[in-house]
Structure 1
Amino acid sequence: MLDSLRDATKSWVATIFIALLVMSFAVWGIQDFLGAAPTTDIAKVAGTPISRERFERHYRDELRRIEQRTGQSIADRQARELGLDRQALTNLIDQIAMERVAVDLGLNVSQRSVLGYLKSIPNATDATGRINTQWLQFVLQESQMTEAQLLDTIRGGLLRDQVTNTILTGLNLPDGLASALNYARRERRTVEYLKLDPAILGNVPDLDEAGLKKYYADNGIRFRRPEYRAVSLLVLSPTELAKTATVSEDEIKRIYEAAKATYVVPEERKFEQIRFKDEAAARDGAERLARGEDFEAVALLQGMKTGETKIGTAKAGDSTIPRQAFETAVNVPTAPIKGPFGWIILRATEITPGSSKTLEDVRTEIRDRLAQDQAKTRIIELTREIEEALGAGTSLEEAAGKAKLTLRSIPAINAQGKGLQDEVIDGLPQDSEFLRLVQEGETGRDSEFLFAKDGSYYLYRVDKVIPASQPALEDIKDKVLLTWRQETLAAKLQERANEILDRAKKGESLKTIGESMGIAPLISNPPLARGGETPEFSRLLTQSVFAAKAGGIVSGPVSFGQSVIVAQVKAITTNEDPSEAQIAPLYTQRIRQSVAGDIAGSFTNWVRTAHPASIYEDRIQSSGSGAAEIR
């Protein structure tokens, strides 16, 4: 959650939100707001105004989440045409209303919880576990927030989590639902099938020159080259910078001494204990144990119940366990001990030896951690140095050279991250927004430093736009011919499959039909699973098989290649594999999560009713007035 904090520049602050849960709800009626408007509030919910700037930040964050989930970049215009801007506004309204519900319910988040969450964010702490102040200042500067605003935003996200977690606690599924869905999941189908390979078509002659030209003329749009862009890319990688970091021996020793306790693992023992009413009884018990009587039997003589002797595990130094208990061998009782609640005898039934790591053991680990810290600090310094140099008119090439950094030149890259020869370009920033930003970037303008998933920061510049173009047929003749051939073979194979379906529906068996075509029928082994896929049965074909009744006949493509399969359902069974004992609970949990999503959606609808939002259309669109209410 907390996604409302992200700035459209995607710099350090993006780290804060990458691990946070964000609940997306369905889009409800909100009129379009694509027109330009002054910077002002565009909506209000639960007494809280929503500024245009806050909405735009939230919208950009929602776009990034979708791109990360789908692995595809989305242009701003396309996103708005799909209504993603309206979804983002609804989502923001829901979050604010949910926080109001949390307050109404008396929920609260302590400052300690907020700081604890902040420390859990990648890059937020240094080697000693304290907040990295340089990192924090950079975050606040880039997001244009105060420290109090940052903490309030985190608190809001944690509040929303409290509400949703509360309403979903103790969720029980309707009677029979899990059983019915598990039964459907375990269903298996055995089919008899004919596999039609392209070879049965014989020789399919290629198009002549005239036919190829006509095919290209009719389908030229499919072969059109997209727009490409030449890009300069500067990446600041903590991994690479750490390789050149200088870490002194004194610093390694200081960190080791400061964290020495974390490198010492005390001995751990599992204990049993007998309680006695007085010293005399305890000494009598000790004598019995010394003679070899069973520990449990002596405990029963003292009125204890079977199994009551077990008191769990403890580590050396635990003040609740007498020191003597850590000085005996395994299964050797202690002498009688007078404890705060009476006389006792203990014994350790299991001993896990302690361990400690010397400076030599952890030297490399500490060195690497300090080098990473130096690299993170150096990244902050470099971003400021380079941005200042660029702001003073220095070229990106000169700024990178002065900082002894490598500026990468990418001659051509399209929206899918491929080059002119359709090759995948490796080594791009691990940021789902990168390709979209490059495609929308202004030529000759240096971007700000942006954050990537691996902790790197990058800056790019679009050097040239290579317009979309229609290649000459001669330049891609082989590709066009291959495409035509694949389509032709697929169409002819489907015609044969349709002929088989017609004959089967008239009563002929697949075996008889296969013999007439010189194709031996096959049996699926093992049986097909619902929603599954095999090297031959594609997911689409499997869906058709499970949609058919017993004896039904279907056709569809194989998973790989151009072959087509015609299949008849021969048997419907249930999987009784022993592994189901482990799988069924996991599947039930998935069902529960799905139901939880439905409940969360219903709760959100109630929140919207309790706290209706107003959208100020006159501040969103260039014309019109009044307010629209979302319910």
Structure 2
Amino acid sequence: MPVSFSDPICSESFAMLQKIRDRARGWFAYTIVGLLTIPFAIWGIESYFEGGGPMDAALVGDSKISLQDYQRAYQQQRQRLQAMLGNNLDAALLEGPQLKQDVLRQLIDEQVLMQLVGDQGLRISNPQLREALLALPIFQESGGFNKELYERLLRNQGYTAALFEEGLRQSLATEQLRDGVTASALTTQAELEQWIALLKQQRDVYFLKLPLAQSVAKAQVEDAAIQDYFAKNPARFVNPEQVQVQFIELKLSSIADPITIGEDELKAAYEAQLDKYGRPEERSASHILVKLPLGAAPAEVELAQAKAQQIASEIRSGTKTFDQALQEVKAHASGQVEGGELGVISKGMFDSPALENALYALEKSGDVSEPVRMPSGFHVVRLDTLTPSQVKPFEEVRESIAQELRQQQAENRFYEITQTLANLGYEHPDNLEPAAKALAVTIQESGW
């Protein structure tokens, strides 16, 4: 599958420079090449070649990886590294080319796998997607899926639920492809025995160490031999071509650090995002389900409803405990009744509004609902525990709000600066002074 790159400089610029280099000679030609290299190497100068239009980071077959997707993935990887390593993170790692190359390579690998998934006709059904989503640890609190936490985390990362779930669907499909390859590997008995034999094999080895330094110290080399070796091996003593360039470096951190956020702005952001700093109300519940077959006759429905009503009444009156009622009906109606703990639940987790409304109508632990009709039968729900919603005080989250606002303002400012830099680079392709003066930055010079 053909793959082409354009990160961070478009491939046409490299081809152009190479042609000039191949056909030009002398100090004047190298000066021209050096001057052309400067604007080409500035991040955001793609408008010099593309007329300001959109640019792709890579082309995988017929599919494009946009520069926007690449930059989003790059920023997310930076944030992951900062979160994992904290103060131990080497700043050079974030700014070096290796991280950019790794991110682009990962995007290309994902695109190749997605195309293979499409070619193989692999699909993830909605029930499979839902099961995987509910099992993700990052969206769980107190042992269960938290819908508000899910929506809040997606919102903070700039994702919609539909966009994230489509990405998860693609990820599950590619994982299915990987599992299909790795899980189908076969090992013969002969290969297994050979591997075990090699694993347990032991050998005794005797060796004699001859120090090279002693021999070198005793060796005598005549000047004529040195001259002769130099004359016969000139290629070993040729210095590689070198260039020295001037450049301007823009760092998001240097823009964010001096930004100060006023107290009123901090409080306004806090008030606008109270759901982000709050813990939603949580309830844990148990249920008893009196089952109904699909297409049940009216008489069967009435009988099941009456049974569920009897169970609810006995529990409310104290005649039986919830557990006693559950065990008794299960013993007398094997296969027709089931139940147990539902775990920790927050609003939006149930597919059925009726079941959710019944649970949230209960006011205190131990309360039992009226029977709730569902396609599977009649549910009787008991509220086990209730944890009220809690909101963190402003002072507790003040610094995190300030850091978030600084980051947002710095990113906006960084975008404006890169646009200014791109325009100035286009207007002054042979001189960095105007850009450095306009942006109040220092022109730096590389080594050889």
TM-score w.r.t. structure 2 length?
A: 0.49
Q: By percentage of residues, which structure has more helix?
A: 2
TM-score w.r.t. structure 1 length?
A: 0.37
Determine which structure has greater relative contact order: mean sequence separation of CA pairs < 8 Å that are 6+ residues apart, divided by chain length: 1
Q: By percentage of residues, which structure has more strand?
A: 1
